[in-house]
Amino acid sequence: MRSQEARLHDILEAIERIEKYAAQGRDAFEQDELIQVWLLYHLQVLGEAVNALAPHLQARYPELPWGQIIGMRNILVHQYFGIDHDAVWSAVERDLPDLKQQVQVILSTWCDEVQR
- Determine the average pLDDT of the residues in 10-33: 97
Distance CA 45, CA 39 (A): 10
pLDDT at residue 80 in the model: 74
Question: Is residue 73 annotated as part of the catalytic site, yes or no?
Answer: yes
* Radius of gyration over every alpha carbon of the chain, rounded to an integer in angstroms: 14
The per-residue b/e assignment along 37-56, b for 16 or more CB within 10 angstroms, e otherwise, is ebbbebbbbbbbbbeebeee
pLDDT one-digit tens code per residue, 26-67: 999 999 999 999 999 999 999 999 999 999 999 999 999 999
Tell which wins on pLDDT, 35 or 110. 35
Domain chopping of the chain, boundaries: 4-111
Question: Is residue 56 annotated as part of the catalytic site, yes or no?
Answer: no
Do 35 and 24 form a contact (C-beta atoms < 8 A)?
yes
Q: Which member of 56, 78, 94, 116 is catalytic? A: 78
Q: Which member of 17, 42, 73, 116 is catalytic? A: 73
pTM: 0.91
